[in-house]
Homo-oligomer: A and B are copies of this chain.
Amino acid sequence: MNCNTPTDVTFSFTGFAQRGGRTDHHKDGWGIAFFEGLGLRHFVDHLPACDSPVAELIQRYPIKSRNVIAHIRRATQGVVARENCHPFVRELWGHYWVFAHNGDLQGFHPRLHGAFRPVGDTDSERAFCWLMQEVAKSHAGVPSVAELTLTLRELVPQVAQHGPFNFLLSNGQALWAHCSTNLVHVERRHPFAHAQLQDEDLAVDFSHHTSPNDRVAVVVTAPLTTNEHWIAFAPGQLRVFVDGERVG
């Protein structure tokens, strides 16, 4: 989620958490990271999201953030363990960077000679460390969103040739989303509509919770609601969101 006003994810996360073991098979751990100012709150749990006391806290305790990345895991590579739960976090240039991956990279073992090494044994964390290493080499300090997007457009295909590489990346300033196989996004803005969750019998009228200037973009592998306009990504497409709006 990327927004122009700090927004809580209570509604979307409620549907999303059901896919972590109940309405879907992504039951091998989950995690969520909220940017708050420059800081970050990062929650991970190895329990399925639908059963996790930590997930229950997130649904109960509205944390307002402009950039949130959440992930439910179905283990393809790497054991079910804390160190393999997404999203992953690293610091670069005095900013936190958060990354979550859906997919399966085969034979991706790049040379990691920089400051970023995986802690666990997933293809995903390896890909994140490599991206961070290459981004760090490409710029002397935090680049503009447009510049970083250009760099990512060069780097990403080198990973994506190894297999499905749907990912979300944020430094708290923008949200980058890359699609290999399946990713959709929706932009919510004035006039806000009524939305019905796909995975749980729950509806919300966003107009009761928002002001006319609020803008929220949500990117996900499969639509979370049944009555909103979700726009599918093309394979190989990288989209960029700033202040709740697609900018690239």
Given contacts A53-B57, A54-B57, is CB(A82)–CB(B37) below 8 Å? yes
Chain A 21-56, CB-CB to B under 8 Å as 1, else 0, gives: 000000000000000111111111110000001100
**What number of copies of this chain does the assembly contain?**
2
Does B115 lie within 8 Å of A115, measured CB to CB? yes
- Interface residues of A, CB < 8 Å — how many? 36
Given contacts A53-B60, A57-B53, is CB(A85)–CB(B39) below 8 Å? yes
For A40, give the chain B residue with the smallest CB separation: B82
For A57, give the chain B residue with the smallest CB separation: B57
For A83, give the chain B residue with the smallest CB separation: B39
A79 to chain B, nearest CB (A): 9
Does A84 lie within 8 Å of B39, measured CB to CB? yes
Q: Which of B44, B61, B96, B120 contacts A53 (CB 8 A)?
A: B61
Interface residues of A (CB under 8 A from B): 36-46, 53-54, 57, 60-61, 81-85, 89-96, 114-120
